[in-house]
Structure 1
Amino acid sequence: MRQLRAFQIVAFVVVTLTYAYVHLYVDFDFPRELVRITGVTVNGTVGDQSESIDASASETADENTPRAFNEPLAPSSDLCEELVRISSDHRRVIELLTRAQFPSALSPTDYDDSSIALQPASSVEFECDAGKTLDESRNIVDVFLFGGGEVDTLEIRLYELHPVVDKFIAVTSNVTHKGEATFDALESLLQTARFESFRDKVEIFKHAQAGAAAPNGVNFQFEAEKESAIARELAKRYDEKTLVIFGHVDEIPAREDVWKAARCETALPGNFGIWFPYGNLNFAFRSDFPARNMPWTLGDPGVTVANRLYQMLLPRGRMEHVLGRGFHATNYCFPPQYILKMMTATEYGGFDDFIGNIKSGTNKTCEQTMQELRLFCLNDPVRALGARMRRVDDLVKAGENAEQFYTPLALRLSNMTRYPSWDPTGQAIDQRATILPGVR
């Protein structure tokens, strides 16, 4: 298993390096190293201290509690100015960018506008294939790694799966995937009106880690340690009667197919085949780890019995059985989230270059700076990855099954007004990209 995991890491880094290399030669106004790979670090030791928190009963009177929406965070006039002012303090930057997503895009200056909150379905029903219905449905727990800042993506996932899973376990840490101190957002986030209706099923599993920070390096150890910690925990809690979905928060399986995994005869372990738009809904990316016979997908997340998760971990398409469709919400082009990814995601980099770009853009407004970054995120993979990025319409015309290009239910609800940065035209505007959190 360790050898296989090592192979997956090396292969993933090679692919990402290829993208970064091509990226350096793109003729664009933004820094050429927004997605930068500088080598793999192997130093650093990781502790093994974990705790679980029942989000439905947690309190919010701590340093992570959202400030009142009319209380200024800082004297800066907009998000760009504040990013420059605090850029040397990465933990504060992570907090600022995370708080930018606390309110919904539908109400960008109000943390507590319950009138626009998504309400999960109380129950849903689908059908198994003839003769495949189980006499008794299985419990199913959705376990995902949560980096802390993927707030919109978390909402999309919870809305998709709340009616078909028995529980969510969000696996968090005190450090980013680059080993730097992070902002613990999830407890207080779940107390907001936006997430109140979901928190009854959410548990937070905190894994304390300590290691050498590598803000400009690539070290998959921090992710791997969290995977192992939650696998050990589930082996203690559950037996073979409970299933577990396991992946990252942005690896979102389709609601119907999760329902079937729990209620229909299903060969396990297996993985989903999730569509990989790379931030642009008009396109699909051909990944190196597709689900079997589904080249335009990523073979995650996986499903297995909970007490044997340690035997599977992240499947990356290794499983023989494909359990259904889904959506890979990576490379989300909401500018604060994209900047967060530069700082916190294992294989990304470029934050210092971005700050330098803001400083040098003396004649640009914050709106212009953020829109340029958004368009760069939206279009650069299409330019840099060549034949590995194909238009979905062209793939369907060429014979690919249209059903595999699954759009999560939350993305279908509001015609891009709830998540403007998923608009593939780049035209829908998200005011949160420039507003200071806590300022009307």
Structure 2
Amino acid sequence: MADTGWHPPENQVTLLGRRGEREAIERLLSRAWSGRSGALVIRGEAGIGKTALLRHARGTAAGFRVEHATGIESEAGFAYAGLHQLCAPLLDRLPALPGPQQAALGVAFGLRAGDPPDRFLVGLAVLGLLAEAAEERPLLCLVDDAQWLDEVSAQTLGFVARRVEAERVALVFALRDSRTDPGGTELFGRLPDLGLGGLSDADARALLATAVRTPLDEQVRDRIIAEARGNPLALLELPRSAQPAKLAGGFGLPDALNVPRRVEQSFQHRSAGLPADTQLLLLVAAAEPVGDADLMWRAAEYVGIGTEAATPAEAAGLLEIGTRVRFSHPLVRSAVYRAAVPAERRRVHRALAEATDPRTDPDRRAWHRAQAVLGSDEEAAAELERSAGRARARGGLAAAAAFLERAVALTPAPPAVRAGRWPPRRPRTRPAHRTPRWSC
């Protein structure tokens, strides 16, 4: 590789069995440093190491400005939510954009009123915003769980990634394999693609040795390696679900479940052993997809949880709380949320609705309030209907439909009123499973 003036830092922690992938990321960063922008899509099953590679990219990007966004399934109904995560720290550059682009992005992000923005203008505005930020120093944009981005954010970022050229910008997307659109073109198609497979048996043994500190029966070790199929997260988590005596003697490891589901069960097992207040705090964090620490603590106060409840969760390696709230892996979030009983979910959503400012974030407040309802509630349904109107005004037709579908479910009014809230049918631009499920 020609010397471009950029080199990965020394003493980087090496990811087992990922030499080719690390080199692909380093080539992308080297090109961006020298003024040739680019993008990379990392695909693979849950737990296969996509997030670890994004962390490696962040740690490798010496001299780069790094911005990060994460797609969250329960956020898929909020138009431009994923794009706002990525671009919010860059909005000080907005005045440098042409007037029409400023207006389009301002309406999309709810910063100003106006007609639904033209998506081409929004895409150009984001491209310009990234280029402006990269004038100061190269910019690395990391997007994890991109399969859960809202529709317009995914389309816009795909548009931008196919057009970056000489802006000193690198974009890396991580997403699961199975997301395809109805026409068969994969999400973020026509971008350089990196499929992530399982570790070799030798690397799997080395990783397993770091996770198990007790004597490990050889047959049990081989069984774990075979059942994990080279999935790094499974290799780290499956031994946690077995008692040390069973690991040593070869008894009792579970069968039958697929790897992501079994890993999720391991996370459920770990969280279930924590104090009750800590479990409730984890549920508040799981139900609050934005990762806003202040909002989480306000909601925690509503349900009577103090800050000391966080310590066991952090010690267990499940949660990190700083200015943002981060789970150690997306499967932790889903494990915590799925394990909670419906009454507890409603309780934390009610607290989050109370903690959310109705003036600055009315749509997310309406969504949490709707999740707290048992049965029907006209006031909550009307609030969702207003959110659908705001989503339409920003050009988020899929988001508007999702709000209206939930509003219909909550409407206690006569059938004619309920029918009036049904979203109009429109041609599908995404597969049916892209419609957000109203849970975390």
* TM-score with structure 1 setting the length: 0.24
Of structures 1 and 2, the one scoring higher in RCO (CA 8 A, sep 6+) is 1
The structure carrying a bigger helix percent of its residues is 2
When Rg is computed on C-alpha atoms for both structures, the one with the higher figure is 2
The structure carrying a bigger strand percent of its residues is 1
